[in-house]
């Protein structure tokens, strides 16, 4: 079977379990060929379909995410290694990086950047691609996820530090110091949330779920933010699209001003926080 025929057949089969069947088929074919999707679409490829392609399609039919099958994904223009030990970085999370870029456009570049719950390292590495002179530190509680983050760090920011730590434990931040930018995509999904099978069955639960209302990690993390922020520092924390009011209230209770940022779909996606008295420069609605 030719590559074109295989792509059509795979797309038809995958359409029963995926809303992005054609894209999935192209990414899997590119992986089987050992090329990029762009190469697949624009260059002359061998006529015959690789023997490994069929098995890749079968894995996707079980709802296994494409990123886990291929072992990589793209985030903010960076190719990142991913395994089932880490949450797959989403495009919506790039909202945090863009909001941080806008916030620092009119002030000195951040000198120290902290990523809490780094997973694959996506947020820290994206930030360091904007500010390569900054000192980057990432904290992750899963040793398996930390290994993935360190591998990505070696590729994209070899000087960055990736440390084992858990913000729910005492003294986890001992000797970390203060930071101009704190980033975090903490768990924020309600325990009983109805998630797609590709998420609930395959992605790490400890990176997803955070109690009955999805706010348990915010309740622990946000009160610790003021001690981590340098003078004029800001934090960008990802939220679920219905959690803006609740997370802003938690920030206010911790002595922080807060502003919501929306993603490209105009859903609440991040809360920018700063110590009271510092100016927040975001464009979203604020809770001060």
Q: What is the mean pLDDT of residues 47-66?
A: 95
Mean predicted lDDT score pLDDT of the chain: 95
Q: For the residues 109-132, what does the mean pLDDT come to? A: 99
Structure confidence at residue 279 (pLDDT): 58
Dihedral-angle region of residue 76 (phi above 0 means left; psi in -120 to 50 means alpha; beta otherwise): left
Residue 286 reports pLDDT greater than 50: no
User: What local confidence, expressed as pLDDT, does residue 285 receive?
Assistant: 42
In Å, the largest CA–CA distance within the chain is 66
Strands 229-238 and 268-275: antiparallel
* pLDDT over 70 at 281, yes or no: no
- Give percent of the chain above pLDDT 70: 96
Higher-scoring residue by pLDDT: 67, 287: 67
DSSP, collapsed to helix, strand or coil, labels residue 275 as strand
Helix ranges restricted to H, 142-278: 143-156, 197-200, 216-221, 225-228, 244-253
Q: Sort residue 93 into left (φ over 0), alpha (ψ -120 to 50) or beta.
A: alpha
Distance between CA atoms of 242 and 181, rounded to whole angstroms? 24
Q: Chain-centre distance of CA 261, in angstroms?
A: 16
Confidence at residue 283, expressed as pLDDT on a 0 to 100 scale? 43
Judge whether 124 and 183 are in contact, CB under 8 Å. yes
pLDDT, one tens digit per residue, over 149-183 is 999 999 999 999 999 999 999 999 989 999 999 99
The whole-angstrom separation of Cα 167 and Cα 174 is: 11
pLDDT tops 60 at residue 284: no
Residue 16, SS3 per DSSP? coil
Residue 106 pLDDT > 50: yes
pLDDT: which is higher, 1 or 164: 164
Q: Judge if pTM exceeds 0.85.
A: yes
Does residue 127 register a pLDDT over 90? yes
Q: Give yes or no for residue 228 having a pLDDT over 70.
A: yes
pLDDT value, residue 1: 87
Confidence of residue 196 (pLDDT cuts 50, 70, 90): very high
Residue corresponding to tokens 């003078």 = 231
Span 80-99, average pLDDT = 98
Which domains does the chain carry? 3-62 (1.10.8.10), 85-287 (3.40.50.150)
Q: Which residues lie closer than 8 Å to 286 by C-beta, 6 or more apart? A: 257, 258, 259, 260, 280
Q: What percent of the chain has pLDDT over 90?
A: 90
- Quick check: 4 pLDDT over 60? yes
Among 39-43, 214-218, 270-274, the minimum mean pLDDT is found in: 39-43
């Amino acid at each position: 079977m030719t590559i074109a025929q295989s792509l059509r057949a795979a797309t038809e089969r995958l359409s029963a379990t995926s809303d992005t069947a054609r894209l999935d088929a192209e990414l899997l074919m590119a992986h089987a060929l050992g090329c990029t999707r762009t190469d697949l679409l624009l260059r002359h490829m061998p006529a015959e379909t690789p023997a490994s392609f069929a098995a890749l399609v079968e894995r996707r039919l079980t709802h296994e995410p494409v990123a886990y099958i291929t072992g990589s994904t793209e985030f903010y223009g960076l190719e990142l290694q991913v395994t089932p030990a880490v949450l797959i970085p989403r495009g919506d999370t790039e909202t945090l990086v863009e909001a941080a870029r806008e916030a620092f456009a009119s002030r000195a570049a951040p000198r120290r950047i902290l990523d809490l719950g780094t997973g694959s390292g996506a947020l820290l590495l994206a930030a360091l691609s904007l500010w390569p002179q900054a000192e980057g530190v990432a904290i992750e509680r899963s040793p398996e996820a930390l290994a993935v983050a360190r591998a990505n760090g070696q590729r994209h920011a070899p000087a960055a530090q990736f440390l084992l730590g858990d913000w729910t434990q005492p003294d986890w931040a001992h000797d970390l110091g203060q930071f101009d930018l704190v980033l975090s995509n903490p768990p924020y999904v309600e325990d009983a949330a109805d998630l797609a099978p590709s998420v609930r069955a395959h992605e790490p639960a400890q990176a997803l779920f955070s109690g009955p209302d999805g706010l348990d990690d915010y309740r622990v993390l946000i009160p610790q933010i003021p001690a981590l922020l340098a003078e004029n520092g800001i934090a960008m924390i990802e939220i679920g699209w219905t959690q803006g009011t609740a997370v802003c209230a938690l920030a206010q209770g911790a002595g922080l001003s807060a502003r919501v940022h929306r993603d490209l779909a105009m859903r609440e996606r991040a809360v920018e926080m700063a110590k009271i008295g510092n100016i927040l420069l975001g464009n979203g609605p604020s809770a001060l």
